[in-house]
Amino acid sequence: MVSCNPFPVVCGNRCCQSRFGANSPDAETLSEGFAGMSIWKLPQRIRGAGLAALRNLLLAAAMLSEPALAQDAVCSAFKDWWAKPGQARAGKVIRLGGYFYAGRVDTAWIGENFDLIDLNAKNDTNLVRGLRSINPNIAVYQQFLLQQAVTRQTGAQAVSVPDESSVEAWRLRKKDGSAASSPRGPNYLPMDFRGTSGWAAHFAREARRHLDLTHSDGVVLDEVPLRLGFMTWGDLRDYATDEDVQDAIRQWLGDVRRTLRAPVLINAGVLHGRDRHGVMLWDKLDDVIDGAWHEGWVRFYGAHDSPHEGNAWEADIASLERFSGSRRPYIASAAFRNRSELEYGLANYLLAINGPSGVFQPMWEYDPVTRGGFNLDIVRREVEWNRDLFDVALGCPTAVRQKKDGLWYRTFERGLVVVNASRRALYAAVPAGHSRVGGPALQGRVGMEPFTGMVLVK
């Protein structure tokens, strides 16, 4: 297997240069490691995901059988990251980053606080060089729409094409044969991402040009359709089922990733579903993605009063565990309107984080004027106002998350986090010698309202 430590990314059978990345070999590389093992002896739901699911099952079994060893590996990953020269916020287990497109770009503040940043069209060469002069470890990404090309950039960043006629053969078609149109305007062109289209090759070439021009590390893909319901262009000629969409996206991602030779991240929320065999989509796409961005993690900024619960909450937590544990970048963007909601988001993050490649994006309440947590000025304000929470000195995690009496717990070298991800008020069992960050000492039975969290220090 190809190795490119400390944060490996494998593209085909070669290493991609990146500060964060995936230890996620493609199917060809995986088959070398599992030679002689037949996936066809596995149940149908596992066969549907193929070798990626088999690898993940084996990794999960190892984690369950040796939890102490797993936590040692998690701690080592953090300590290695903290020890890097020029590291932002060394010693802090909460890592910061995210996707931003509004507000003032303060190079010094970003470099001193973030491990990863996606600045969309603001990723110019001088900015990236400035960030790296302050923090040589920061990972910088370019964000693009997956489904659309653009003849003139006026909003969300998309790969450029000269004009409509030059890509007529690649256009997404309705049942009547006409080209689908975009609600973003006539300069945005919905594209067909099947393998018969030339869209993947063009996208990879143009994205590579952007990365070279700006000295960025990889791409984040937005608006990734993995179900027909996400294809908002009307009745389509070449896509009749969710499976048609998923198979085409999988092939498109594989083609782009091989040509681009750089990490490819997609929106994590779309990965939480299952295909018709019951296989999680993150298993189905595991070997063609290098990380994920989840703009609605735990609590979506468009639905503050409906925090995730049950299976949706578990999928959020498990995806951060999975990606950060395999050293792949993951942006957990949790919405909040006050300190209590922020502490809940951070407690969930601490419950799940398994390595420094997972970053927390402080997603302040969104509004169309300020852009909320997408605005760097607002994010800076919230980080500085709540510096005691963001910089809490918990040390390494010492155990995996555990559930007791309806609450989730995780212990750290110098503290404890507790999460109530339910609709019920519950009581936490707090050991002696713990205090809430910015609050009093607590001990014994402590009441917790629904959807609240506690970050406790010794």
pLDDT for the residue 42: 32
Number of helical H runs and strand E runs in the chain: 13, 19
* CA–CA separation, 26 and 350 (whole Å): 30
Domain 36-396 has CATH 3.30.70.100: no
Strand order across the beta sheet in which 441-448 lies:
402-404, 407-412, 415-420, 452-457, 426-436, 441-448
Say if CB 416 and CB 441 are below 8 A apart.
no
Question: Which whole number is the average pLDDT over 418-427?
Answer: 98
* CA–CA separation, 85 and 434 (whole Å): 33
pLDDT for the residue 425: 98
Instruction: Report the 10 Å Cβ neighbour count for 75.
Output: 18
pLDDT for the residue 122: 60
pLDDT of 110 strictly over 80: yes
pLDDT for the residue 21: 35
pLDDT for the residue 229: 73
Q: Is 143 helix (H, G, I), strand (E, B) or coil?
A: strand
Question: Which whole number is the average pLDDT over 149-156?
Answer: 84
pLDDT for the residue 30: 26
State which amino acid sits at residue 152.
R
pLDDT of 65 strictly over 90: no
Q: Which pTM value belongs to this model?
A: 0.84
Q: Which residue has the tokens 């957990």?
A: 332
Structure confidence by residue, pLDDT tens digits, 6-54: 333 333 333 343 333 333 333 222 222 222 222 222 333 333 445 444 4
State which amino acid sits at residue 64.
L
pLDDT of 1 strictly over 60: no
Nearest to 257 by CA among 284, 289, 285: 289
Tell me what the pLDDT averaged over the chain comes to: 84
Say if CB 329 and CB 291 are below 8 A apart.
yes
Domain locations along the chain: 36-396
Structure confidence by residue, pLDDT tens digits, 250-296: 999 999 999 999 999 998 888 888 899 999 999 999 999 999 999 99
Candidate from 28-37, 165-174, 366-375 with smallest mean pLDDT = 28-37
pLDDT confidence tier of residue 454, bands split at 50, 70 and 90: very high
Question: Which whole number is the average pLDDT over 73-93?
Answer: 92
* CA–CA separation, 283 and 291 (whole Å): 13
pLDDT of 365 strictly over 80: yes
| Percentage of the chain exceeding pLDDT 90 | 66
State which amino acid sits at residue 86.
G
pLDDT for the residue 121: 62
State which amino acid sits at residue 391.
D
Question: Which whole number is the average pLDDT over 378-405?
Answer: 97
